[in-house]
Amino acid sequence: MKKERELEDLKKQIAADKKLRLKSNLVFGEGNANAQVVFIGEAPGAKEDIEGRPFVGRSGQLLRRMICENGWKESEVYITNIVKQRPPENRDPTQEEILLYIPYLQKQLDIIKPKIIVPLGRFSTNYFLPKAKITIDQGKVFLQNKRKIFPMLHPAAALRSTKRMKMFIDSFKTLSDITSGVYKGRVIKVD
């Protein structure tokens, strides 16, 4: 209950922050406050803005289906975005917007304390691994500050081609191996 209260307090802080200039609805995140795995996208889209929930559009349906197909319940993981409000015209978030929301994301992660962070797409991957290229580094395991960082393609990218969909599905299988303790592949240590 303590973590849930801390997350609710953090949500209120974001809602009250006058520096945040995006005028859309707050999409804070949802799931288990004690999750071992946290999925992090870049910013909410139109459906997320309307519903106030992360990853509920077409790409979110794919993400949630894959979570379930890999033996988890949505209530066992946590899903959020770096930027907590939808940029206008569904554009990519600017560097300035990302920097304004990063302290809140970091507090969110400090409260949840996940063992595995799954950045979805290049924006969230580059926050954790600034030199990473999503098409090259997706599906690899990195160790950073005692946490595993496991970049994956954004589900919207997976929906664009059969090749990317296969990469996305294969990455989910690897993630399942990591969480179950049977992963025997390489772990790349980063500062």
What domains lie within the chain, and their CATH numbers?
2-180 (3.40.470.10)
Q: Which two tokens stand for residue 148?
A: 């595993």
- Which one-letter DSSP state was computed for residue 34? T
Confirm if 187 and 141 have CB atoms less than 8 A apart.
Answer: yes
Query: What is the rounded average pLDDT of the residues 126-147?
Result: 95
pLDDT of residue 141: 98
pLDDT tops 90 at residue 21: no
pLDDT tops 90 at residue 48: yes
Confirm if 100 and 19 have CB atoms less than 8 A apart.
Answer: yes
Please tell me the distance from the alpha carbon of residue 30 to that of residue 13, in angstroms, as a whole number: 16
Give the largest CA-CA distance in the chain.
47
| pLDDT band at 83; cut points 50, 70, 90 | very high
Query: pLDDT tens across 149-171, in order?
Result: 999 999 999 999 999 999 999 99
Identify the residue with better confidence: 89 or 62.
62
| pLDDT band at 138; cut points 50, 70, 90 | very high
Confirm if 187 and 87 have CB atoms less than 8 A apart.
Answer: no
Average pLDDT, the chain: 96
Please tell me the distance from the alpha carbon of residue 125 to that of residue 127, in angstroms, as a whole number: 5
pLDDT of residue 23: 87
pLDDT of residue 22: 87
In what helix (H) or strand (E) does residue 107 lie, and over which residues does it extend?
helix 95-112
87: Cα separation from own chain's centroid: 17
| pLDDT band at 50; cut points 50, 70, 90 | very high
